[in-house]
């Protein structure tokens, strides 16, 4: 738990809420929560302190995420709740037509067979990279870095006249 806390809270995680949330979501998807519950049974004071620290920072980060949406809580286990937050946040912005376009195209993916799960995985990874490569508020991001998103944005500007 000490290592997990160090990875989450130092380096990129020190200044980036997005990084901490991303990494924590990954750990939770990989099944760290049941492991934490099993670790609690050892009743080790040092281990319990690390678990409490993990949960304290998790709660603080989730409150900060909710604050960004002017909410008390963001239900990250509910696709409908998260979609509604995005819809409200983007509804009167230039990004809204792109959200609709993404949803329209996602509807065209074949949903009946599991072999197409790799499409969803690919989309998930692309969005993760976009989130991780954007400079967050208060981050120490290097402004002249050559990121994938910068390169993609340049290509979009060349091929799509609607993008300024």
Q: What is the pLDDT of residue 153?
A: 62
Contact 34, 22 (CB under 8 A): no
Burial-class residue 161 by CB neighbours within 10 Å (0-12, 13-18, 19+).
Answer: exposed
Q: What is the pLDDT of residue 83?
A: 95
Q: What is the pLDDT of residue 140?
A: 45
Q: What is the pLDDT of residue 148?
A: 58
Q: What is the pLDDT of residue 138?
A: 47
Token couple for 18:
């997005």
Per-chain mean pLDDT for the chain: 85
Residue in 9, 50, 44, 17 with CA at minimum distance from that of residue 131: 17
Please tell me the distance from the alpha carbon of residue 125 to that of residue 119, in angstroms, as a whole number: 10
Contact 19, 132 (CB under 8 A): yes
114: which DSSP letter? G
Q: What is the pLDDT of residue 125?
A: 92
Contact 13, 6 (CB under 8 A): no
Q: What is the pLDDT of residue 59?
A: 96
Q: What is the pLDDT of residue 146?
A: 45
Task: Label residues 115-142 b or e (16+ Cβ within 10 Å = b).
Answer: eeeeeeeeeeeeeeeeebeeeeeeeeee
User: Cα torsion for 5, 9, 10, 11, to the nearest 10°?
Assistant: 120
Q: What is the pLDDT of residue 110?
A: 77
Q: What is the pLDDT of residue 63?
A: 96
Q: What is the pTM of this model?
A: 0.73
- Which residues, given as ranges, of the chain have pLDDT below 70? 113-116, 136-164
The model's pLDDT over 49-63, given as tens digits with 9 standing for 90+, comes to 999 999 999 999 999
């Amino acid at each position: 738990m000490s290592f997990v806390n160090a990875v989450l809270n130092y380096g990129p995680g020190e200044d980036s809420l997005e990084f901490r949330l991303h990494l924590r979501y990954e750990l939770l998807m990989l099944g760290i929560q049941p492991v934490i519950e099993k670790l609690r049974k050892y009743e080790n004071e040092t281990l319990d302190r690390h678990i409490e620290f993990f949960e304290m920072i998790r709660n603080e980060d989730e409150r900060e995420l909710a604050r960004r949406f002017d909410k008390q809580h963001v239900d990250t286990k509910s696709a409908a709740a998260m979609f509604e937050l995005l819809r409200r946040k983007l509804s009167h912005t230039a990004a809204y037509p792109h959200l609709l376009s993404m949803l329209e195209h996602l509807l065209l993916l074949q949903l009946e067979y599991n072999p197409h799960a790799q499409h969803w995985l690919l989309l998930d990874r692309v969005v993760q990279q976009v989130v991780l490569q954007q400079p967050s508020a208060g981050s120490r991001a290097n402004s002249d870095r050559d990121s994938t998103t910068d390169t993609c944005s340049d290509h979009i500007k060349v091929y799509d006249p609607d993008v300024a």
